[in-house]
Amino acid sequence: MRFQAARSVGVATAVLLGTLGTAAWAAEGGAAKGKAPQNEVLPTPADAQIEPQRRQFSDMEVKLLQELELRRVELERREQALNIRERLVDLAESRLTGRVTRLEELQTSLEKLLKNLSDKEESELEQLAKIYEAMKPAAAATVLDRLDDKIVFDVFKRMKNKNTAKIMEKMNPLKAKIISEMLAEKSDLPQF
């Protein structure tokens, strides 16, 4: 703003000098005497050089400016660090989102497999129950005595109580006791 005001003053001065110079030339009879104005170079606003005033800062102002500069540099450093952290968080978030998506896909796939397996297992156990029900109780008991307790339990759960009782009557007493306790507690393994 100061520079514009000074420049305006310089332009006004140049115009005034130019006008005065022309007036003086005319007053001397320059045009009447046949004298042409000499090639005088009049200052123009562009030629006028205005030097800005140099302000002297006090020691306190210099110290304050230095502190402000240090603060600005520190803020820029922090901003860069925050930008880097933000990019790292975004990257980690995108990776995590990808992993979560992949885990959800795997979970869905695993659930389908387990359901298919469970359906197949259920079908097989139903089939076994029908086979043992069709057998003579003594023959069924001989085979079931050799099987795992959990399998015997699962087969008996799918059989009619009347047939289960006839087979258990012919089974090893210890095995029959264990299976009876399992049936009483209905302690089945958790379903997945």
Rounded CA separation 178/190 (Å): 19
Q: Check whether 8 has a pLDDT greater than 70.
A: no
Q: What is the identity of the amino acid at 181?
A: E
User: Domain for residue 9, yes or no?
Assistant: yes
- Give a yes or no: residue 34 inside a domain: yes
Is 45 part of any domain?
Answer: yes
pLDDT, position 91: 96
Is there a domain that residue 43 lies in?
Answer: yes
> Is 190 a residue whose pLDDT tops 90?
no
Whole-prediction pTM: 0.42
SS3 content of the chain, % helix, strand, coil (to 5): 75, 0, 25
Range of the domain at 40: 1-54
The number of domains in the chain is 1
11 within some domain = yes
CA–CA gap between residue 109 and residue 115 (Å, rounded): 10
- Is the per-residue pLDDT at 39 higher than 70? no
Residue 10 has pLDDT above 80, yes or no: no
Over residues 104-132, the mean pLDDT reads 89
- Any domain includes 8: yes
Q: Does 121 reside within a domain? A: no
Q: Which residue has the tokens 């968080």?
A: 89
Q: Is 28 a domain residue?
A: yes
Report residue 106's pLDDT band, with 50, 70 and 90 as the boundaries.
Answer: very high
The residue among 38 and 121 whose pLDDT is bigger is 121
Measured from the Cβ of residue 35, the count of other Cβ atoms closer than 10 Å reads 11
136-167 residue pLDDT tens: 999 999 999 999 999 999 999 999 999 999 99
Torsion sign (Cα): 20, 24, 30, 31:
positive
Tokens in use for 176?
């029959």
